[in-house]
Amino acid sequence: MHVYLMRHGQTNYNVLGLCNDDLAEDVHLTPAGIEQSEQAAEQLKDISIDLIVTSELPRTRQTAQIVNRHHGVKILQHPAINDLHTGFNGRPSVEHQQTIVQDRLRTRPPGGESLLEHKQRVLTFIDWLKGVGQHTVLVVAHEETLRVCVAYFRGFSDEGMLSIPVGNCQIFHFELPPNP
């Protein structure tokens, strides 16, 4: 199976430097995020995508809908690829970073999850993805979620996962063998 991984376009919270993992918050693509999504759609328009999977957060679906104008395929939401639960929803991301600086992988902020807990959640999605039976799938998700996925496909350690850069609407392509 061909798997294309893509981060959502720039959002109002990205610009403000705020954390978000609450489905009810008004976090949406900025004009720049819409333009990024349109550029990504152009990059992907000649690829025969069979299915698009997003997180439950509206910014990923908004991005996927722009890409899907060229494909017209089903868009599914999967909770396992929701953004990292920081415990800092609506607060500056720098506060979250300061809280986990001593151990970025294992620190679990109050009301949040550690990066390793997030990784385990995302790995359940990868296992699920192996069984979807499609030839080409586009996954639209979040920075930390894509770090986990890219580290999985590239065989990176947990520490190596932390150094993977993931820009808005950056696209990665990997081959995923189906479940035996």
Is 8 a domain residue? Answer: yes
Check: CB of residue 7 under 8 Å from CB of residue 141.
Answer: yes
In a domain, 109, yes or no: no
Q: Is residue 137 part of a domain?
A: yes
Indicate whether 180 pLDDT > 70: no
Q: What is the pTM of this model?
A: 0.96
Angle between helices 115-129 and 143-154 (to 10 degrees): 70
CATH number (domain holding residue 80): 3.40.50.1240
Structural domain includes residue 79: yes
pLDDT for 179 beyond 80: no
Q: pLDDT, tens digit, for every residue of 161-172?
A: 999 999 999 999
Q: What value does the mean pLDDT of the chain take?
A: 96
DSSP state of 174: E
Over residues 75-128, the pLDDT tens digits come to 999 999 999 999 999 999 999 999 999 999 999 999 999 999 999 999 999 999
Domain range spanning residue 118? 2-15+29-84+114-175
> Does residue 156 surpass a pLDDT of 90?
yes
- Per the structure, the count of domains in the chain is 1
What percentage of residues in the chain have a pLDDT greater than 90?
97
Residue 112: predicted pLDDT: 96
40 is a domain residue:
yes
Residue 95 lies in a domain: no
96 in any annotated domain: no
Span 149-161, mean pLDDT? Answer: 96
Residues near 116 by Cβ (< 8 Å), separated by ≥ 6? Answer: 105, 106, 158
Q: Indicate whether 101 belongs to any domain.
A: no
